[in-house]
Amino acid sequence: MCRFVLLGLTDNNHLQSFLFMIFFLIYILTIVGNINIMLLVQLAAGLQTPMYFFLSHLSFSDLCYSTVITPKLLDILIAGNTSLSYNACMLQLILFSVFGSLESLILALMSCDRCVAVSRPLLYPCIMRTSVCRQLVACCYTVSIMTSLLNASYVLRLSFCGPRNIHHFYCDYPPLLKLACSDTYANELVLLSSVAMVSGISVVTIMASYGYIIYTVLGIRSTSGRYKIFYTCSSHLTVVTMFYGTILFMYLRPSVQYFSEQDKVVAVFYTVVIPALNPIIYSLRNKELQAAVKKMIRRICIQV
């Protein structure tokens, strides 16, 4: 069974130590932040709504796809362990694809939820029932798994007969396809099609939802009412902008053959940084979440 070598981010030993400390702290923040949101949504009575239900799954996705990548990156930086077996590479490839696609689709669901809440507030409880929310999330998981396995099935057909040095810090499609000694045209076509489909569905859904939200807001005469709606949606818009800005740059290009050092920097942002930022963004701009955190802290203090 062949093995791959991950060339990582840099060969500078001093820079590696510095990056290890930075990424280690960010990963700890990712774990603590996302687990806290998942626990709060489960335990806080005031957070038993569709919006926070979707947010808990977004946190789960963030935690998982960061965990698929970051520990190996830290291992490379601190121990120089760049070797990765073929099976481990394929597993990393599939899992990261699953949770990356899941993140994209969950963000689309969250935009739909906000659209219904703004445009149909009286019918919101009937439309966004618990059973409906669970079915929508289940569909997201199903689509993510199916598209990821489809891409992986094409990669498994490839032969890697030359140097197996991956110019990246994890197994990803663009640098991996560059190593193949067999034709990768079908892989590129399937990859671009699946990413375009998942991202396309998500982006169109998000744009349509916010288009309707803006249309609804324009009909509101109260300035405070408009501000409240935009403030409620601001966290989601910030997360969407960061996530899609990096994903579309990485994958929706004419050919996956063009992979540069710049792509590594972009990849670090959406694999390591964004999963840590999402809980912070939602916590800082969501009063209900802040209230739930304070209430839980007071409860813990009283018990202690």
pLDDT digits (tens, 9 = 90+) for 174-202: 888 888 888 888 888 988 888 888 888 89
Q: Could you tell me which of 2, 187, 5, 171 has the C-alpha nearest to residue 91? A: 171
Q: What is the pLDDT of residue 32?
A: 93
Question: Of 58-67, 256-265, 268-277, which one has max mean pLDDT?
Answer: 58-67
Q: What is the pLDDT of residue 223?
A: 76
Residue 4: enclosing H or E segment and its boundaries? strand 3-6
Q: What is the pLDDT of residue 257?
A: 46
Strands 165-166 vs 3-6: parallel, antiparallel or unpaired = parallel
User: Distance between CA atoms of 160 and 183, rounded to whole angstroms?
Assistant: 11
pLDDT tens digits along 93-111:
999 999 989 999 999 999 9
CA dihedral in degrees (290, 21, 269, 265; nearest 10)?
Answer: 170
**In the beta sheet, which residues pair with residue 4?**
84
Domain extent at residue 145: 3-303
For the domain that residue 30 is a member of, what is the CATH number?
1.20.1070.10
In percent, how much of the chain has pLDDT > 90? 35
User: Distance between CA atoms of 99 and 33, rounded to whole angstroms?
Assistant: 17
**pLDDT at residue 147 greater than cutoff 80:** yes
Mean pLDDT of 47-76: 92
For the whole model, what pTM was predicted? 0.89
**pLDDT at residue 295 greater than cutoff 80:** no
Q: What is the pLDDT of residue 11?
A: 77
Q: What is the pLDDT of residue 253?
A: 56
Q: What is the pLDDT of residue 303?
A: 64
- 85: three-class secondary structure by DSSP: strand
Q: What is the pLDDT of residue 254?
A: 53
Q: What is the pLDDT of residue 252?
A: 59
Mean pLDDT of 268-282: 87
Total domain count, the chain:
1
User: Distance between CA atoms of 182 and 164, rounded to whole angstroms?
Assistant: 14
In percent, how much of the chain has pLDDT > 70? 91
pLDDT tens digits along 149-169:
999 999 888 888 777 888 888
Which is more confident, 257 or 164? Answer: 164
User: Distance between CA atoms of 152 and 49, rounded to whole angstroms?
Assistant: 36
**pLDDT at residue 112 greater than cutoff 70:** yes
Which is more confident, 169 or 225? Answer: 169
- Are the beta carbons of 177 and 188 closer than 8 angstroms? yes
Report CA-CA distances (Å) from 151 to 26, 68, 178, 186, 267.
Answer: 30, 18, 15, 10, 19
